[in-house]
Structure 1
Amino acid sequence: MNMMRIDIKVVLLGKEYSGKTSLVERFLSESVKGKDMVLGVWDTAGSERYEAMSKMYYRNAKAAVICYAVNDAESWEKVKFWIKELSKTEPDCSIYICATKTDLIKGRNKDRCVDYHTTTDLADSIKAKLFETSSKTGENITELFNQIAIDYLENKINHLESLDDIVNMRNEKKGRVRCCGQRN
C-alpha cells in the first residue's frame, strides 16, 4: 500500500516547567489511519517569555497543545493567555489543552491546583479537547498525538490545503505556463 505523507505543524505552549518537553520526548511517531503522518512538533523549551518571537513560532500551526501542570495554578493562568493569543493570530488552529504531571497527584483530586471541572468547562467553551497526561507513566500521550492526527485528517479544509500543495508542486516541476500553454 502506498501511503501519503502529510506534515502537520503542532506547537507546544505553556508556562516554563509545565512539562512540554517531557511530553514530546515521550512521544514516538505513529502511522494513523493508513497515512504516514509527520507531526512537526515545535517545543519552545520555555522561550514563551519572548512573546514577539512566539507569534512567528506558531504561525501556520494546525494544532496547538497548551500545557499546564496539575500542581501549578500559575501554569493554568498561562493556558488562558495562550488561548487568547492563538485565537487572535491563528483562529483555525485546533487547540488541545493538556494537563501534565498527573502522576504527582496519583488520583487525589484534592491535590490539584485547578479543579477538573474548571478545565473541562474551559475546553468545552472553546471547543478544545482536554487530555490529562503523565510523561513519567506515558498516560494519554500517544492518545493526544493520535487525536491531533485524526482530527487533522477528518477536517475537510486540510484536505483542500493538501490538494493545493500538490497542485503547486506539480506546477513548479513543469515550469511556469504562460497564456495559451506556452512555457517560460
Structure 2
Amino acid sequence: MKLIMIGESSVGKTCCMNRFVSDQFSEVTKSTVGVGMVSKEIEVNGIKVKLQIWDTAGQERFATLSSNYFRNAMGGVIMFDVSNRQSFENISNWIDACNKIEEKRVLVLAGNKVDLSERVITKEEGEARAKEFGLKYFEVSAKTGAGINEMFETLTKEIVTLPKVEAQNNNEEVSINLASVDKETSKKGKGGCC
C-alpha cells in the first residue's frame, strides 16, 4: 500500500515517517531532495498490510518531480507545522496538486510539532481546515511520538475498509483497486478528496 507524505519543506514529514517506522527522532534532519521511501508492515482489522511510505520534497523546485510520485498512492498525509502559519496557508496548494492526478485516495491532514510552545495554529483552526476539505485531522509530534501511530493506523484502516477490498484466492491476500472505488464514497466525507 503506497502512502505519500505531502507538505511544505521543514514541516517534519521525514521525522514523522521515521518516528512511525523506526520509533526514532533526530533534531537534525536534512531536507528531502526529491523523494525518499521506507516500508513498514502493520496489521489492521486482522489484515497484514505492508506500507510503502513515500516522503516528498516540499521545496517548490521539486514540485513537478514530487507530483509524479503521487501516482498510484492509495493514501496520503498532508502535513503542516503548527508553529508556521505559511505552511498552514499552503494546505490548499498541496490538495490542488493532489487533485490534478485523477486517482482515488484517502487523505488526512496533520498538524506537526504540537510539542512546541511557540504554536501559532490552534487545534480548532486545524480541525476547521480539515473539515473544509472533508479530511480527518490529527495533531502529532515527531519529537514525542504523540499521535503518529494513530494517524498512520487510521489512514490505513480507512483505505482497507473502502469498498472493493477483496480477499483473493482464499489466501488472505488483499487487493485494493482504488480505480473502481465508488465516486460517491469520497463525496460522503470518507476522507477522499482526489
TM-score (norm 2): 0.71
For residue 15 of structure 2, what is the aligned residue in structure 1?
Answer: 22
Query: Paired residue for 1:156, among 154, 160, 163?
Result: 163
Q: Which residue of 1 aligns with 2:3?
A: 10
Look up the SS of the partner of 2:92 in the other structure.
helix
Task: Give yes or no for the alignment of 1:78 onto 2:90.
Answer: yes
Cross-structure match for 1:137: 144
Paired residues, number: 152
Partner of 2:101: 89
Given the alignment of the two structures, is residue 146 of structure 1 paired with residue 153 of structure 2, yes or no?
yes
Preserved CA contact (<8 Å) 1:14 1:48: no
Distance apart, 1:115 and its partner CA: 3.3
Counterparts of residues 16-55 of structure 1 (less than 5 Å): 16-28=9-21, 29=40, 30-46=42-58, 49-55=61-67
Could you tell me how far 1:125 is from its partner in structure 2?
A: 2.3
Contact 2:2 2:53 in 1 (8 A): yes
- Report matched runs for 1:59-70 at 5 Å: 59-70=71-82
Distance 1:59 1:96, change over 3 A: same
| One-letter code aligned to 1:162 | S
Moved more, 153-162 or 28-37: 153-162
Answer 1 or 2: which has greater strand percent: 2
**Aligned match of 2:35:** none
Distance 1:113 1:90 in 2: 33
Question: Which stretch of structure 1 is more off in the superposition, 144-153 or 119-128?
Answer: 119-128
> What is the distance in 2 between the residues matched to 1:60 and 1:36?
20
Gaps spanning 5+ residues in structure 2: where?
Answer: 22-39, 168-173, 178-194
Aligned-pair identity in percent equals 31
- Whether the aligned pair in 1 keeps the contact of 2:57 and 2:63 (CA below 8 Å) is no
Q: Secondary structure at the match of 2:100?
A: helix
In structure 1, list runs of 5 or more residues that go unmatched. 1-7, 106-110, 165-184
CA-atom RMSD, angstroms? 2.1
Which residue number corresponds to residue 182 of structure 2?
none
Larger Rg: 1
Amino acid at match of 1:147: T
| Structure with a larger share of its residues in helix | 1
Q: CA deviation at 1:92?
A: 1.6
Instruction: Identify the structure with bigger relative contact order (alpha carbons < 8 Å, sequence gap 6+).
Output: 2
**Matched residue type, 1:123:** A
